[in-house]
C-alpha cells in the first residue's frame, strides 16, 4: 500500500518539475487509474484509493478508485467493511455546500457508527482536511492512547 502511494506521489511531483504547473486533481486521479489498470493484468496492486484534491478553478473534488481501477468522481465515498455504515450515514446527512464544522460533525457521526457497529473496529481515527491551504491533519479520535501495547 505504502509502495504504491509513494510511487504516485513521486510521479506527481515529477510532472510538476517537468511541466512547471502542478497536476489537477482530475489529472492525478486519471494517472493513478492508468497505473492501476496497466498493472491489473500482470501484477495487480491491492489498494483502494479515495483521492481528494483542491483546484483553484474547480474547487474541491473527491475521486473513488478501487483496486481494479474503476474511477468515479463522487461527493461522498467509503471503503471497507465500515463503508456499509458510513455510506448510509452520509446518504442521510450529506448535502452540498456543507461547512467545515458540519462536515466534521458528519465524520464524527460515521466514526461513532463504525465504533458501535463494527466488530473489528479500529480504535483510533485521523481526520484530514484538504482545502485551498493544502492538506493537513485536522484531528485524531483516539480511544486507545497507547496503540503499541501488544495483545
- Tell me the three cell numbers of residue 121: 473496529
Q: Which of 8, 29, 51, 71 binds another protein (CB under 8 A)?
A: 71
Place of cell 502542478: 22
Burial class (CB in 10 A: 0-12, 13-18, 19+), 114: buried
Residue 33 interacting with another protein (CB under 8 A): yes
Q: For the chain, what is the radius of gyration of the CA atoms?
A: 17
Rule CB under 8 A: choose which of 13, 39, 40, 135 binds another protein: 40
Report d(CA 28, CA 103) in Å as an integer. Answer: 24
- Does position 95 interact with another protein (CB under 8 A)? The reply is no
Task: Select 85 or 111, whichever has its Cβ closest to another protein.
Answer: 85
Residue in 3, 17, 41, 95 binding another protein, rule: CB under 8 A: 41
Does 9 help bind another protein (rule: CB under 8 A)?
A: no
45 forms part of the interface with another protein (CB under 8 A)? no
Single out the residue of 25, 29, 77, 86 in contact with another protein (rule: CB under 8 A).
77
Q: Report in angstroms how near the CB of residue 76 gets to another protein at its nearest.
A: 9
CA distances from 137 to 4, 70, 128 (A): 21, 27, 4
CA dist., res. 25 & res. 98, Å (int): 20
Rounded CA-CA distance 59/74 in Å is: 14
Size of the site for another protein (CB under 8 A): 16
64 binds another protein (CB under 8 A): yes
* Contact footprint for another protein (CB under 8 A): 33, 37, 40-41, 64, 66, 68-72, 74, 77, 83-84, 87
Amino acid at each position: 500500500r505504502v509502495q504504491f502511494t509513494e510511487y504516485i506521489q513521486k510521479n506527481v511531483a515529477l510532472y510538476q518539475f517537468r511541466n512547471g504547473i502542478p497536476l489537477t486533481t482530475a489529472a492525478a486521479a486519471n494517472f493513478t487509474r492508468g497505473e492501476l489498470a496497466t498493472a491489473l493484468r500482470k501484477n495487480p496492486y491491492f489498494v483502494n484509493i479515495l483521492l481528494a484534491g483542491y483546484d483553484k478553478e474547480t474547487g474541491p473534488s473527491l475521486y473513488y478508485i478501487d483496486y481494479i481501477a474503476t474511477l468515479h468522481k463522487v461527493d461522498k465515498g467509503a471503503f471497507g467493511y465500515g463503508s456499509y455504515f458510513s455510506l448510509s450515514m452520509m446518504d442521510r446527512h450529506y448535502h452540498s455546500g456543507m461547512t467545515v464544522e458540519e462536515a466534521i460533525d458528519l465524520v464524527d457521526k460515521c466514526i461513532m457508527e463504525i465504533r458501535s457497529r463494527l466488530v473489528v473496529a479500529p480504535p483510533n481515527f485521523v481526520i484530514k482536511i484538504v482545502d485551498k491551504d493544502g492538506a493537513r491533519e485536522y484531528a485524531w479520535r483516539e480511544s486507545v492512547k497507547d496503540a503499541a501495547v501488544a495483545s
